[in-house]
Chains A and B, each alone.
Chain A
Amino acid sequence: GAVVSQHPSRVICKSGTSVKIECRSLDFQATTMFWYRQFPKQSLMLMATSNEGSKATYEQGVEKDKFLINHASLTLSTLTVTSAHPEDSSFYICSAIRPTSTDTQYFGPGTRLTVL
């Protein structure tokens, strides 16, 4: 099956620093990737849709200047949390749509971000 990876799996950083999370589709090209955030015991909330070669589309309430998304290639999307604060601590998960299987999103293993 399709595989999506994320790096790093876990990151701890100091408040005020920026953190970059990578999402890669390993065996297919993905024109569309999604970034989700999951707080403890909460649902996954869609943050933004990442489109290869164009600007990301952000959901209402998500600050685009704080969560920078770059989808520079068909296999890589990055999420940069800028000037991270403790309230940004969360589990970030990406997903990718395989062009030949548009109904199914393949999810990455997630990245646990802890901001001290």
Chain B
Amino acid sequence: KQEVTQIPAALSVPEGENLVLNCSFTDSAIYNLQWFRQDPGKGLTSLLLIQSSQREQTSGRLNASLDKSSGRSTLYIAASQPGDSATYLCAVASGSEKLVFGKGTKLTVNP
């Protein structure tokens, strides 16, 4: 059974700092991995999707990497801004389109 773990559970940083969020998964036989953003009481916004054959994806100040063999992914956020404050969720798809989510990392960027 796939399990997804995200560390840290919460992170508070000053504005402008670069930061890394971590995600690990137990079964390396994945189809893809996605990073989402969730604002309080809201739905999910897809940030980046990495196919199993890819090593990384970039979108603006965000860069996600994938090391399938070790069961790890990182989300790098450059030059963080207060508007980046949210919960970031990592989710893994194992071929059936079903997503298994981690519990998320709650990020607070202080002005």
Q: Which residues of A are interface residues toward B (Cβ below 8 A)? A: 6, 32, 34, 41-46, 49, 91, 93, 95, 97, 102-110, 112
Q: Are A103 and B32 in contact (CB under 8 A)?
A: yes
New A-B pairs, 9, CB < 8 Å, besides A41-B103, A108-B43: A34-B99, A46-B98, A105-B46, A105-B99, A106-B46, A107-B43, A107-B46, A109-B42, A110-B43
On whether the beta carbons of B102 and A43 are closer than 8 Å, the reply is: yes
Q: Which listed residue, B34, B51, B98, touches A34 by the CB 8 Å rule?
A: B98
Chain A interface helix/strand/loop/mixed: strand
| Interface positions of B (Cβ within 8 A of A) | 4, 31-32, 34, 36, 41-46, 49, 51, 89, 91, 93, 97-104
The answer on a CB contact under 8 Å between A32 and B97 is yes
Bound Cα distance A42, B104 (Å): 8
- Closest CB-CB distance, B109 to chain A, in whole Å? 20
- In angstroms, Cα B93 to Cα A32, docked, is 15
* CB-defined contacts of A102 to chain B, threshold 8 Å: 97
Q: A112, B41: Cβ atoms under 8 Å?
A: yes
Residues B104 and A43 in contact, CB atoms below 8 Å apart: yes
Q: Are A43 and B103 in contact (CB under 8 A)?
A: yes
Q: Are B98 and A49 in contact (CB under 8 A)?
A: yes
- Is there an interface contact between B97 and A110, defined as CB atoms closer than 8 Å? no
List residues of chain A with CB within 8 A of the CB of B51.
103
A/B interface sample: 25 pairs, CB < 8 A? A41-B103, A43-B89, A43-B101, A44-B89, A44-B91, A44-B99, A46-B99, A49-B97, A91-B41, A93-B44, A97-B97, A103-B32, A103-B49, A103-B51, A104-B34, A104-B49, A105-B46, A105-B97, A105-B99, A106-B46, A107-B36, A109-B42, A109-B43, A110-B43, A112-B41
Q: State in angstroms the CA–CA spacing of A6 and B99 once bound together.
A: 19
Of A32, A44, A97, A110, the residue contacting B41 (CB under 8 A) is: A110
A41 and chain B: residue at smallest CB distance: B103
